[in-house]
Amino acid sequence: MEKLTVRASGSYDVVIGDGLLPDAVSYLSPIIRNGAVTIVSDDKVYPLYGDALKRRLAANGNKAYSFVFPNGERSKNADVYIRLLNFLAESAMSRADTVVALGGGVVGDMAGFAAATYMRGIKVVQMPTSLLAAVDSSVGGKTGIDLKAGKNLAGVFYQPSLVLCDYRTFDTLDPAEFTGGMAEVIKHGILAGGELRELLYGPIKPNLEKIIRLNVQIKRDVVEADEREAGARKLLNLGHTIGHAVETLSSYALSHGQSVAIGTCLTARICAKQGVCSQAVADEVIKLFTLHGLPTETMYSAKEIADTARLDKKRKTELITWVWIEDLGRCVLKDIPMDDYEHLISLGLQQDNKGKAS
Ligand SMILES: NC(=O)c1ccc[n+]([C@@H]2O[C@H](COP(=O)([O-])OP(=O)(O)OC[C@H]3O[C@@H](n4cnc5c(N)ncnc54)[C@H](O)[C@@H]3O)[C@@H](O)[C@H]2O)c1
Whether 259 is in the pocket of ligand 1, judged by its Cβ within 6 Å, is no
Q: Which of 132, 152, 294, 300 is nearest to 216 (CA)?
A: 132
Cα(303) to centroid(ligand 1), Å? 30
Number of domains in the chain: 2
User: Is 142 noted as a catalytic residue in this protein?
Assistant: yes
Range of the domain at 322: 176-353
- pLDDT (0 to 100) of residue 357: 43
Whether 140 is in the pocket of ligand 1, judged by its Cβ within 6 Å, is yes
Q: Using the CB atoms, write b or e for 238-256: b if 16+ within 10 Å.
A: bbbbbbbbbbbbbeeebbb
- pLDDT (0 to 100) of residue 314: 54
- Residue whose CB lies within 8 A of the most ligand 1 atoms, among 6, 39, 48, 132, for a mutation test: 132
Q: Do both 274 and 129 map to the same domain? A: no
- pLDDT (0 to 100) of residue 313: 59
Distance, in Å, from the CA atom of 157 to the CA atom of 61, rounded to the nearest integer, reads 31
Residue 72 inside a domain? The answer is yes
Report which protein residue has its CA nearest ligand 1's atom 3.
Answer: 137
Q: Do both 137 and 263 map to the same domain? A: no
Q: Do both 159 and 260 map to the same domain? A: no
- pLDDT (0 to 100) of residue 252: 84
pLDDT along the chain (358 residues), means of 10: 96 98 97 98 98 98 98 96 98 98 98 98 98 97 91 94 98 97 98 97 97 97 94 94 93 92 98 98 98 97 92 68 96 91 93 51
Catalytic residue among 76, 142, 187, 220: 142
Q: Do both 123 and 197 map to the same domain? A: no
Q: Which of 295, 282, 298 is nearest to 245 (CA)?
A: 298
The percentage of residues in the chain with a pLDDT greater than 70, rounded to a whole number, is: 96
Residue 358 inside a domain? The answer is no
Strand order in the sheet with 98-103: 2-7, 11-17, 162-166, 123-128, 98-103, 37-42, 64-69
Last residue within a domain, chosen from 126, 145, 173: 173
Q: What is the DSSP track for 158-173?
A: ---SEEEEEGGGGGGS
Helices (H), 174-294: 175-192, 194-199, 208-225, 240-249, 256-273, 279-291
- pLDDT (0 to 100) of residue 354: 53
Residue 47 inside a domain? The answer is yes
- pLDDT (0 to 100) of residue 317: 64
Cα(256) to centroid(ligand 1), Å? 10
Q: Do both 46 and 95 map to the same domain? A: yes
Q: Which of 303, 304, 302 is nearest to 249 (CA)?
A: 304
Catalytic residue among 54, 56, 256, 313: 256
Last residue within a domain, chosen from 123, 150, 173: 173
Q: Do both 88 and 151 map to the same domain? A: yes
Q: What is the pTM of this model?
A: 0.95
Tell me if 290 sits within 8 A of 265, measured CB to CB: no
- pLDDT (0 to 100) of residue 316: 57
- pLDDT (0 to 100) of residue 71: 97
- pLDDT (0 to 100) of residue 334: 94
CATH of the domain at 65: 3.40.50.1970
pLDDT tens by residue, 60-87: 999 999 999 999 999 999 999 999 999 9
CATH of the domain at 290: 1.20.1090.10
Q: Do both 102 and 240 map to the same domain? A: no
User: Is 240 noted as a catalytic residue in this protein?
Assistant: yes
Catalytic residue among 44, 187, 219, 269: 219
Cα(129) to centroid(ligand 1), Å? 8
C-beta atoms surrounding 94 within 10 Å: 12
Ligand 1 atom at minimal distance to the Cα of residue 151: 43
User: Is 334 noted as a catalytic residue in this protein?
Assistant: no
Last residue within a domain, chosen from 130, 157, 173: 173
User: Is 256 noted as a catalytic residue in this protein?
Assistant: yes
Whether 144 is in the pocket of ligand 1, judged by its Cβ within 6 Å, is no
